[in-house]
Amino acid sequence: MSCVICETRKEKRFCPAVHGRICPQCCGEQREVTLDCPSDCPYLQQAREHEKPRAADQIDPAGLFLQIEVGDQFMYEKEHLLMGLTYALAKAARSDRSLHDQDSIAALTMLAKSYERRVNSGLHYEPPLTSDSQRRAVVEVENMVKEYREAEQKHMGYSSLRDSEVLKGLVFLVRLAHGRTSGRPRSRAFVEFLFAQFPENESAVVSPQEAGSRIILP
């Protein structure tokens, strides 16, 4: 029988994304490009094990916010903020299974640009997002920042969290996302990294301290 995608080459493996059998070439070429590959696909898992990190020239330097310094001391002092931001993004992805790495990066980038403008000029401006998935991710992250400040207010009588610190936290996550994704249009490698830090299965829940350490020191 022939591959259900190219209809030319011989099929040799079952593809859960198309619920049919395809050839190895179509699997390699279309994986996370036109195919929404489920995380438990053995061929996807095998490919990730042998996948090399993306080269620096594959990432737009402007998207990494190189002008923003995120030092070790900040990551140590604001570990709970980083953990909260990461959890919010994982929560958004878990409630919307159509969220891909590119959506996460777009949402984080928009927020980082918005906070950078607030820090530099005091202006509040939010560039438009292209999908509902991205908007939902933004709302989840913004709600987390609001709750973080409310918790500080409740326990200390004031909130010490500055916009500049939120900006650094967002930039850290943008860089982490770029480093974790394969860069393919439908990649969910970064999203699944987030899920691994905050599992749904209560018996396998990672402690907050361990999750924070894994995020900061992947």
- Per residue in 22-40, pLDDT (tens digit) is 999 999 999 999 999 999 9
**129 in the same domain as 95:** yes
**14 in the same domain as 120:** no
Report phi then psi at 15, rounded to 5: -110, 110
pLDDT of residue 130: 76
Confidence of residue 58 (pLDDT cuts 50, 70, 90): confident
- Which helix (H) or strand (E) covers residue 134, if one does? helix 132-156
Least confident range of 14-28, 146-160, 161-175: 146-160
**137 in the same domain as 90:** yes
d(CA 214, CA 195): 12
On whether the CB atoms of residues 12 and 4 are closer than 8 A, the answer is no
Beta-carbon contacts of 50 under 8 Å, excluding residues fewer than 6 positions away, are none
**169 in the same domain as 76:** yes
**151 in the same domain as 189:** yes
**85 in the same domain as 29:** no
How confident is the model over 161-191, as pLDDT tens digits?
999 999 999 999 999 999 999 889 999 999 9
**64 in the same domain as 32:** no
Confidence of residue 201 (pLDDT cuts 50, 70, 90): low
- Backbone Cα Rg of the chain: 19
Averaged pLDDT, 153-157: 88
**35 in the same domain as 84:** no
Q: Which domain holds residue 30?
A: 1-51
**82 in the same domain as 16:** no
| Domain count along the chain | 2
Residue 63 forms beta bridges with which residues? none
The answer to whether residue 102 scores a pLDDT higher than 50 is: yes
The answer to whether residue 4 scores a pLDDT higher than 70 is: yes
pLDDT of residue 189: 94
d(CA 72, CA 78): 10
**157 in the same domain as 115:** yes
d(CA 41, CA 27): 11
